[in-house]
């Protein structure tokens, strides 16, 4: 009786250790993705500042704002901002998916742990 209990304990310990390692891996991945988001936010701000600078320069040069000329000057920045926005949304979805996986594992662990305690208490 003692050997199966120890083996059961060892298997639960291995499973818990693996789950903890998986959660830590997911948390590390989330942290990296958040850093990527911060980098993209910085790039986006830089492109917006460039648009502002180019707009102001055009106004100073011509005393007006010609939409066509302005678009020609800032088109590349606008395309880059759109690209960044798409990538940021992808990262946010990936982060949400990873967080959902972590929460799912935590809920499962709590349920399994409480269910196991209830059975042990009934058996005693």
Predicted confidence at residue 5, as pLDDT, reads 83
Residues 6+ apart with CB under 8 A from 58: 65, 66, 69, 70, 73
Any idea where the domains of the chain sit in the sequence?
40-109
In this structure, are residues 106 and 30 in contact, taking their beta carbons and an 8 Å threshold? Answer: no
Q: Which two tokens stand for residue 91?
A: 């990262």
Q: Is the pLDDT of residue 73 over 60?
A: yes
Q: Is the pLDDT of residue 4 over 80?
A: no
Cα–Cα distance measured from residue 40 to residue 83, given in angstroms and rounded to the nearest whole number: 10
Predicted confidence at residue 15, as pLDDT, reads 87
Q: Is the pLDDT of residue 35 over 60?
A: yes
């Amino acid at each position: 009786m003692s050997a199966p209990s120890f083996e059961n304990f060892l298997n639960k310990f291995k499973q818990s250790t693996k789950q903890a390692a998986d959660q830590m891996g997911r948390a590390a991945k989330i942290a990296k993705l958040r850093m990527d988001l911060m980098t993209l936010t910085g790039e986006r701000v830089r492109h917006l500042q460039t648009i502002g600078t180019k707009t102001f320069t055009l106004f100073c040069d011509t005393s007006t704002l010609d939409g066509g000329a302005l678009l020609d000057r800032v088109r590349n920045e606008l395309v880059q901002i759109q690209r960044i926005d798409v990538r940021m949304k992808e990262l946010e979805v990936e982060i949400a998916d990873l967080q959902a996986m972590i929460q799912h594992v935590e809920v499962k662990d709590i349920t399994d742990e409480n269910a196991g305690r209830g059975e042990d208490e009934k058996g005693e």
